[in-house]
Amino acid sequence: MRATRPVRPAFVRGAALLCTVLSAAGTLSACGLGGADKPTIAHKHSLTIGVKEDQPSLGVKGKDGTYQGFDVDVATYIAGRLGVPKSRIRWRTTNSSVREKALADGTVDMIVATYSITATRKRVVTFAGPYYVAHQDTLVAPGNTTIHNVRDLKGRKICAVTGSNSWRRVIEERKIAAVPVQAPTYGACMSDLADGKLDAVSTDDLILAGFAAGHPGKIINAPFTDEKYGVGLKKGDLEGCEQINRAITAMYQDGTAARLLRKWFGTSGLKLTTSVPQFEGCS
């Protein structure tokens, strides 16, 4: 005896018909290609994007509540390529210490916030990109004439931002006996440097360039790492990762990346890379 085919409720049949019509019209994101609960950002109608609020030229929150910076512009471009216009983006300040948790619990859909791709982080986060490869350097007070490279940080007080790996690259990877001084953000690091509580701030050159434009201090121009800035996604969102990688490729190929880099860092003196970065691969 042949099994009777189950009859779907009317509202389910209606939703399926609506999705068929919308798909034919090219509005695929409205149906999520398999359901609104599909665990991917690839077809979402709107996005909540995590960014920094206190990193000049990268992510800054103004008094009016709006965000601006290179990371914000990159995120806006990527969202547009995913079919989400700026009007349907919600920005959320996401500090280094809470990035993994914010993705895991759905507080944000993706993070574009100088989020370096590391083997440890890849265990709990899926990364698209990188969208840029920065290099760790060091910023010192204007009158400092004794720190010329990372080795000179031995015995010096350096900033250790909660959730950031930069200070670890000095002390744990380079085995340099610097003294870590805890701080919640890089904005706090700059205040501590100005107050004489620190000897140096060592982190990505794009972060330092943004701060150096508005704070006393000088970059020693002695880079010693590659920092691959990735777009953080909830672990397992491979479809979203692949679509974002295509968006990043387009951003470099159509000249947008070069324009944004010049816009935010053109006067910094840093050597900017305007070719498509080598992707890590979605996993």
Q: What is the pLDDT of residues 200-228, one digit of tens each?
A: 999 999 999 888 877 778 899 999 999 99
Report yes or no: 242 and 81 within 8 Å, Cβ to Cβ.
Answer: no
Cβ within 8 Å of residue 45, ≥6 positions away: 29, 30, 84, 88
What is the per-residue pLDDT for 217?
83
Q: Could you tell me how far CA 87 lies from the centroid of its own chain?
A: 20
The domain defined by 136-219 folds into D-Maltodextrin-Binding Protein; domain 2 (3.40.190)
Cβ within 8 Å of residue 156, ≥6 positions away: 147, 178, 179, 199, 200
Task: Please give the mean pLDDT across all residues of the chain.
Answer: 87
Cβ within 8 Å of residue 233, ≥6 positions away: 41, 103, 109, 110, 125, 126, 127, 128, 240, 241, 244
Q: 38-134+227-265 domain in CATH 3.40.190.10?
A: yes
Tokens 């950031």 locate to: 164
Q: Residue 52 class from Cβ within 10 Å (0-12 exposed, 13-18 middle, 19+ buried)? A: buried
Rounded CA-CA distance 202/167 in Å is 7
What is the per-residue pLDDT for 255?
98
Q: What is the pTM of this model?
A: 0.80
Q: What is the pLDDT of residues 33-73, one digit of tens each?
A: 434 455 799 999 999 999 999 999 999 999 999 999 999 99
Cβ within 8 Å of residue 89, ≥6 positions away: 46, 47, 48, 49, 75, 76, 79
What is the per-residue pLDDT for 39?
77
Instruction: Name which of 203, 194, 67, 66 is nearest 134 in CA terms.
Output: 203
What is the per-residue pLDDT for 157?
97
What is the crossing angle of helices 205-212 and 256-265, to 10°? 40
By percentage, how much of the chain surpasses pLDDT 70? 87
Q: What is the mean pLDDT of residues 230-234?
A: 98
What is the per-residue pLDDT for 10?
43
Q: What is the pLDDT of residues 5-36, one digit of tens each?
A: 434 344 334 444 444 444 444 444 444 443 44
Q: What is the pLDDT of residues 103-134, one digit of tens each?
A: 999 999 999 999 999 999 999 999 999 999 99
What is the per-residue pLDDT for 169?
95
Domains 38-134+227-265 and 136-219 share a fold: yes
Cβ within 8 Å of residue 181, ≥6 positions away: 157, 158, 159, 160, 192, 197, 198
The residues spanned by each domain of the chain are 38-134+227-265, 136-219
Confidence band (pLDDT; 50, 70, 90) for 173? very high
Rounded CA-CA distance 253/275 in Å is 8
Report yes or no: 32 and 81 within 8 Å, Cβ to Cβ.
Answer: no
DSSP state, 169?
I
What is the per-residue pLDDT for 38?
56
Tokens 């007080």 locate to: 157
Report yes or no: 211 and 204 within 8 Å, Cβ to Cβ.
Answer: no
